Structure 1
């Protein structure tokens, strides 16, 4: 009689924060931006992060993006404690696993859409022919295959944000961190960008964490996390 095999352990969440505190300054001048955040983000999640200015959401995003470190508590990425990694390993995590999209697009004005998208691959030392092909595929994914030679000044705001998204996904990240990605766009262009992000989440399995002040944009996410006074609360799945 065979001994039953033990069940396979469930994989850890993609992202987990355990009691994360972030304090700026010292003594009476200290300010606690995060006051003990517990947070789990699973693979394939699409999470909207909302909250008033000063609520701690931007600080949390900086920690998730390895741009800052907690004062105390743990940030785990695929079960690995990020805070225990040396600075160069955190930089590699940021470069190879995370993609970033910003409200202001952050494109280089005098370079083409294709060259903007290629930039993360240049930092990786990828040969020109290979990075050119990957950048073209990324532009085609966001619907701008025919605009590769145009500079940002020749593109609309919505098109510029699509280029920025192509640049963020050209490295095949596991997580896309989007900070107010529709903040500089009108409602119609904002909806187009949200539909694109939804498609990337659904079709490519990219986990998305998005800061937004706009409830109608947050509705595209599968769940919403609300920050207030350095604390966070998930409201479960969006309907």
Structure 2
């Protein structure tokens, strides 16, 4: 994934805000990258562009040599559906659906048949340590378990890239470390590229590389000698 002189501008004239100001960023297959920065630094805007949830005002975004900016809205949706998985701070689970039904959702959008959906969803839940909890509803699960369901939903389609936006923001320290160990295992054992936005240095310590944003620009970009 490569951003080349990417800018994102909101508003015009006196109200113009440069959320991103001509950044260059390359993320290689198999990396675990933490994106950090204060509120308004541009990190979430960069994440949204990398996740094909938004488009740059100028510059180029290449995904596996494909110029994402030249894709239609439907083509970007297909790219998300087949290559990307998302985990958010707020879990975003359907309250009236069981864990396995929540995990099946991306497969419904893919048109996967019912029996295969259920098999893949059950396997994903077992993979994140929730075997036996498949038919529990979100209200019957702890915060950490709900985030595990969200991770299972993100990986059920076997994505190449997992984008995690403050995945431990609503969790206590012990549960946060458990989720980070899970993301680390997905990266190291499954080869999934992980891109994570976080405010927390303890969580960023799990990444191979930390990119820090400030005022719409990349302030620092460096590898860690010994990730957690």
TM-score, normalisation: structure 2: 0.97
3-state DSSP of counterpart to 1:146: coil
1:231 to 199, 217, 227: 217
- Residue segments in structure 2 that go unaligned for 5+ positions in a row: none
Residue equivalent to 1:93 = 79
Report how far residue 146 of structure 1 moved.
1.0
Residue equivalent to 2:4 = 18
2:37 to 33, 51, 55: 51
3-state DSSP of counterpart to 2:188: helix
1:75 to 61, 64, 82: 61
Residue equivalent to 2:25 = 39
State how many pairs are aligned: 225
2:167 to 154, 178, 181: 181
1:124-151 deviation per Cα after TM superposition (whole angstroms, max 9, x unaligned): 1111000100001100110101100100
Residue equivalent to 1:210 = 196
- Summarize the alignment of residues 68-217 of structure 1 with structure 2, pairs less than 5 Å apart: 68-217=54-203
| Higher mean C-alpha displacement, 129-138 vs 22-31 | 22-31
3-state DSSP of counterpart to 1:145: coil
Report how far residue 235 of structure 1 moved.
3.3
Report how far residue 234 of structure 1 moved.
4.2
- Quote the Cα distance in structure 2 between the aligned partners of 1:53 and 1:28: 21
3-state DSSP of counterpart to 2:222: strand
Q: Which of structures 1 and 2 has the bigger CA Rg? A: 1
- Quote the Cα distance in structure 2 between the aligned partners of 1:21 and 1:225: 17
- The answer as to whether partners of 1:223 and 1:234 remain within 8 angstroms in 2 is no
RMSD across aligned positions (CA): 0.7
Report how far residue 107 of structure 1 moved.
0.3
3-state DSSP of counterpart to 1:23: strand
- Quote the Cα distance in structure 2 between the aligned partners of 1:39 and 1:20: 9
- Residue segments in structure 1 that go unaligned for 5+ positions in a row: 1-14
